Amino acid sequence: MGNQKAAKPDENHVSGQSNKPLSHPAHALSYQQLAEELRANTLNGLSAQDAKSRLDEFGHNDLGEAEGVQPIKIIIAQIANAMTM
């Protein structure tokens, strides 16, 4: 797996946004409507070919290298917030 070349997402893709928006927010659709719009099979999932084509189209589901949670920063922010009251 380490030797695989990373898939490149579409150069017009905006991270965190879908370039193929749903007709309504996902929570407002029935699961049947959502599965239809996402071209998903609720019984069998994605085929290997579908998974590969989506990986080629959208790239890896990667959030990138974020700093992460730092407890000391949380504590300092809470103390500073309490001091301003």
Chain centre to alpha carbon of residue 17: 9
Tokens of 38: 């996402």
Residue 19 binned pLDDT confidence (cut-offs 50, 70, 90): low
Chain centre to alpha carbon of residue 55: 12
The predicted-structure confidence for 25-51, as pLDDT tens digits, reads as follows 889 999 999 999 988 999 999 999 999
Query: Residue 64: what pLDDT?
Result: 77
Tokens of 78: 């809470």
What pTM was estimated for this model as a whole? 0.49
Tokens of 74: 């949380």
Sequence spans of domains, the chain: 15-62
Q: What is the mean pLDDT of residues 8-16?
A: 55
Tokens of 15: 């991270």
